[in-house]
Structure 1
């Protein structure tokens, strides 16, 4: 009996002595009742969830959810100004861009959060219980998110802290890395992604792919002045990724009046499953699905329609009577949905790039203007009174019979020509429609109820044109630009006409409210010059140092163990 008892005792004593000699694993904390990196990155499902969070974070930044994106990416550039004359929304650079301001703070915090989470995925994938194929796939996808975030930060702020390792303990000694070092890290991460991610024609709609990586490489190589590599990366996308420009009508309204450019922005037409072969990266939204952001009762996110279309619901006729059916915006091309007119295109976009004179009737396009991107389907240029019960001006033009609360400098936000891509005429979900017969909308409307482009093939083509031009090959640059212009049925450009400004004009014609215009202008060194030239509201307030955002003061304060230098001028 003693022998039976003593054996377990001796075994237990041995275990105790053994574990007592290895204090580190014995004392290591492993949370069991809350999530932490230690228990959240175990299997492939955990990594899929972490990457899904990165997609959601990018979507939130791009979703016009409080000024982090549209109010800085487009407002205050050459393309748009704040029609409500709000100085804090880049109506005034001196007011909007300060170290204490919301716009720079939101960009800094959000993009660095994506970098931090990507670093964790990269670090944890190396030691998790995954196959080698899974480790490579998860790590490469996270690296592309990191590269994309740094691409935004370096062109907004210039030199920024370069963090490529997971930070598991408090740190307050960050310093700024030179811009070129950041760009080289973007190249390294995007090259990894271009090598290891699947092609765009096999990934699930909305997922990052080899084409996204090569597009980012092309743009970054231009910044590094390595034009041959930029051309090569862009060519991988344009010619070797099973992508092509859409040249025929397609999708949900292909049998309705319109054109192929109009089709690109109709509900359900953004992804490859719809037959759209020029989509490279599309932000995914779902209606009335948990996590899908959009709801039939209205949405706080993706409010492009609300922000960038005119507030026609508030227009009265010349007699002061209601001009719209039920006093609400109709879901037609005539009115732009349920807009409030925060963001209005500049005269540069509305008139000049199409060869129009803003002093003349902007409805009458010259016969030589054949570009479908400025057709009535794609830029409504006239407002028609639609209320037959209250106005004797029913069916007549606002431009011919101006409304008393519209035709003055401070209330033009009630009506202005706008790109129809910001709204979904006739395709709003039932939940936001007041009257299906009259096509009137509830006040809860305002979201753009469709998926949204992050990158389309024309942007890559215009990047390659830019690289060709900077290399000195204007003939090839013109040939690429004409790929885009031919689809638009626009007059071809000649090699002698191609300049960086012309490429910016073409980007404006094709990519309004799609490209991050501020990043493009900053990358080209054109921001201050073109804001002064084309933005009548913001131009007088911008100064040379506004080419970069200020480093948020809260970040400088928190970085107590090293100096996080402020950008000059702030």
Structure 2
């Protein structure tokens, strides 16, 4: 893999840290260049903290900001979501044939960005080991660096298979990388996550947004399942589930707990409710966004490029004309009826939003009764025309289809091409209805949002406690113990008010279904499906757009072509079929 040399990498790192927090007076002051030597930076708490902060900045950038639509590429083209306009792009994956090309942006982006994290981790570990810190001071720093190295390799190995195994920082460009095996990468991940779990602080001792020892135990458990060591995985994941500082939220809480007709699941996604300081005990790792704060990414006046789940995931309800072709809606509104400024890019598959009684089946109980995660507070199933000037004011779009939505008859592609994407069932967790910043209001009509809306104004969960229960269920299932697997699943279902699953009905597909019911939008679904070996089967079964383009080679993403070409000293082997 092509590497920058040590001097350039370190200089860029220091520049990033200083520009992110300097004021003009400090910037103009002439400090000796020696101030920024590795010996100084890695031997004081402020310098070390700046480097560690960069791990979190990179994670947020890769999976929640990115560039263009690439941060959501791991949701598109799965059993849960498809490209709603019926076509897709290289990042909004529709056809695997055109999206997963070695020279395309998404495969290159995830490969290179995760290797940047690995390089940063190796840089930190090397310099902390050489620093003047005491042995005791070094332990948590190295542990956190190893966590992020393990996490980067985790995302790489499930997407690409075996990749180059790099555990030392290169001071000069390395052009003769070769691929390690998948097992070798998994074993290194297990070592890194074990050291992280042993050396990091407990969850009640870390700040919001910071990873803790039980987060490392979670990923160690996941890795052990992949290595066929499921009994050990149960032990590690149990450290998460049994930690006295965590627990599922079961009662109303947080900033909007007095809003009538809502529930605890709705509360989990309200602004200000994601972190432990809000009283949320099931949050394990939360990516941090701050509004109108330098480095916080989100603005109160426009969506910018940040956290655009609302824009991508919500339907463009505001654009629907009534059956007479006249405006059916007044515009973009911050409510459950319209959902802000959606543009209908990332649409849930029918299976993700339908009930067991619908044609083709679905995840949810009959009539959406018996699971709060699909009730009217959390899954929006229809829209009412809200333009008083329309003859259809107050009537349902499902009963009086908008003229620019087509007839709804035909193949899924024909329906999409006719404008059927303007409304579909959508999950409220993708936005903050009734709680957008005032700066987004249309200056000509304060009841409406301006066209600059589209960001989601809450922090995002990378990991919540329910996922630990479902992962331990996966480990129990691998051990042949359906009873204990069902018991863990039922802890999650009980909070949702859902009926218990019987042990005999538990298999990996049921667990994958439950993950979607609980964690839609939260998990990087493309990684999950490939991790458990179910990508092809489920995308063919549930995704009408991507499924027909599937071939076994797409179980892995291609190694980026530019990485192969830059590796002039050895052959960096491409994945089969590319």
Judging changes above 3 Å, is the alpha-carbon distance between structure 1 residues 317 and 49 closer, same or farther for their aligned structure 2 residues?
Answer: same
Judging changes above 3 Å, is the alpha-carbon distance between structure 1 residues 136 and 489 closer, same or farther for their aligned structure 2 residues?
Answer: same
Q: Deviations over 1:369-413 (max 9, x none)?
A: 31000001111000111111x212111111111001113412222
Aligned to 1:307: 312
Tell me, yes or no, if structure 1 residue 82 matches structure 2 residue 83: yes
Q: How does 1:351-430 map to 2 (within 5 A)?
A: 351=354, 354-358=355-359, 366=366, 369-388=369-388, 390-407=389-406, 408=408, 409=415, 410=417, 411-430=419-438
Q: Deviations over 1:227-265 (max 9, x none)?
A: 111101110000125211111111111111201111111
Root-mean-square deviation (CA, aligned residues, Å) is 2.0
Q: Deviations over 1:201-240 (max 9, x none)?
A: 2210000101110110111111001011110111000012
Aligned to 1:126: 129
Of the candidates 323, 326, 340, which is equivalent to residue 321 of structure 1? 326
Q: How does 1:198-277 map to 2 (within 5 A)?
A: 198-256=201-259, 257-277=261-281
Aligned to 1:10: none
Q: Give distance in 2, aligned partners of 1:446 and 1:486.
A: 33
Aligned to 2:145: 142
Aligned to 2:499: 491
Q: How does 1:434-453 map to 2 (within 5 A)?
A: 434=442, 439-453=447-461
| Aligned length in residues | 534
Tell me, yes or no, if structure 1 residue 517 matches structure 2 residue 506: no
Q: Deviations over 1:260-298 (max 9, x none)?
A: 111111111100111110000000010100000011122
Q: Give distance in 2, aligned partners of 1:477 and 1:359.
A: 27
- Once the two structures are TM-superposed, the CA of residue 35 in structure 1 deviates from its matched residue by 5.2
- Equivalent pair of 1:44/1:134 in contact (CA under 8 Å): no
Q: Secondary structure at the match of 1:281?
A: strand
Judging changes above 3 Å, is the alpha-carbon distance between structure 1 residues 135 and 368 closer, same or farther for their aligned structure 2 residues?
Answer: closer
Aligned to 1:55: 56
Judging changes above 3 Å, is the alpha-carbon distance between structure 1 residues 535 and 475 closer, same or farther for their aligned structure 2 residues?
Answer: same
- Equivalent pair of 2:82/2:546 in contact (CA under 8 Å): yes
Q: How does 1:88-99 map to 2 (within 5 A)?
A: 88=90, 89-99=92-102
- Equivalent pair of 1:296/1:430 in contact (CA under 8 Å): yes
- Once the two structures are TM-superposed, the CA of residue 32 in structure 1 deviates from its matched residue by 2.1
Q: Deviations over 1:324-380 (max 9, x none)?
A: 22xx211001112111111000011011xx4240589x9x97368310000011110
- Once the two structures are TM-superposed, the CA of residue 64 in structure 1 deviates from its matched residue by 4.2
- Equivalent pair of 1:63/1:69 in contact (CA under 8 Å): no
Judging changes above 3 Å, is the alpha-carbon distance between structure 1 residues 67 and 467 closer, same or farther for their aligned structure 2 residues?
Answer: farther
- Once the two structures are TM-superposed, the CA of residue 434 in structure 1 deviates from its matched residue by 2.1
Q: Give distance in 1, aligned partners of 2:425 and 2:400.
A: 16
Bigger radius of gyration among the two: 1
Judging changes above 3 Å, is the alpha-carbon distance between structure 1 residues 517 and 36 closer, same or farther for their aligned structure 2 residues?
Answer: farther
Aligned to 2:16: none
Q: Secondary structure at the match of 1:240?
A: coil
Q: Give distance in 1, aligned partners of 2:503 and 2:517.
A: 19
Judging changes above 3 Å, is the alpha-carbon distance between structure 1 residues 216 and 67 closer, same or farther for their aligned structure 2 residues?
Answer: farther
- Once the two structures are TM-superposed, the CA of residue 436 in structure 1 deviates from its matched residue by 11
- Equivalent pair of 1:199/1:241 in contact (CA under 8 Å): no
Q: Give distance in 1, aligned partners of 2:360 and 2:196.
A: 50
Q: Secondary structure at the match of 1:136?
A: helix
- Equivalent pair of 2:368/2:374 in contact (CA under 8 Å): no
Aligned to 2:537: 529
Q: Deviations over 1:107-166 (max 9, x none)?
A: 011000011011101111112232333311111111101000000000000010010111
Q: Give distance in 2, aligned partners of 1:473 and 1:523.
A: 20
- Once the two structures are TM-superposed, the CA of residue 33 in structure 1 deviates from its matched residue by 7.4
Judging changes above 3 Å, is the alpha-carbon distance between structure 1 residues 35 and 356 closer, same or farther for their aligned structure 2 residues?
Answer: farther
Q: Secondary structure at the match of 2:498?
A: coil
Q: Give distance in 2, aligned partners of 1:367 and 1:344.
A: 21
Q: Give distance in 2, aligned partners of 1:377 and 1:436.
A: 30
Q: Secondary structure at the match of 2:224?
A: helix
Judging changes above 3 Å, is the alpha-carbon distance between structure 1 residues 45 and 180 closer, same or farther for their aligned structure 2 residues?
Answer: same
Q: Give distance in 1, aligned partners of 2:209 and 2:39.
A: 29
Aligned to 1:25: none
- Equivalent pair of 1:379/1:420 in contact (CA under 8 Å): yes
Q: Secondary structure at the match of 1:440?
A: strand
- Equivalent pair of 2:365/2:371 in contact (CA under 8 Å): no
Tell me, yes or no, if structure 1 residue 168 matches structure 2 residue 163: no
- Equivalent pair of 1:331/1:440 in contact (CA under 8 Å): yes
- Once the two structures are TM-superposed, the CA of residue 37 in structure 1 deviates from its matched residue by 4.2
Tell me, yes or no, if structure 1 residue 563 matches structure 2 residue 571: yes
Aligned to 2:285: 281
Of the candidates 295, 301, 322, which is equivalent to residue 299 of structure 2? 295
Q: Give distance in 2, aligned partners of 1:62 and 1:516.
A: 9
- Equivalent pair of 1:68/1:107 in contact (CA under 8 Å): no
Aligned to 1:46: 47
Aligned to 1:13: none
For structure 2, the 5+ residue unaligned runs are 1-10, 12-31, 409-414
- Equivalent pair of 2:82/2:348 in contact (CA under 8 Å): yes
Q: Give distance in 2, aligned partners of 1:566 and 1:368.
A: 46
Q: Give distance in 1, aligned partners of 2:328 and 2:208.
A: 42
Q: Give distance in 1, aligned partners of 2:453 and 2:359.
A: 31
- Equivalent pair of 2:79/2:539 in contact (CA under 8 Å): yes
For structure 1, the 5+ residue unaligned runs are 1-28
- Once the two structures are TM-superposed, the CA of residue 36 in structure 1 deviates from its matched residue by 6.1
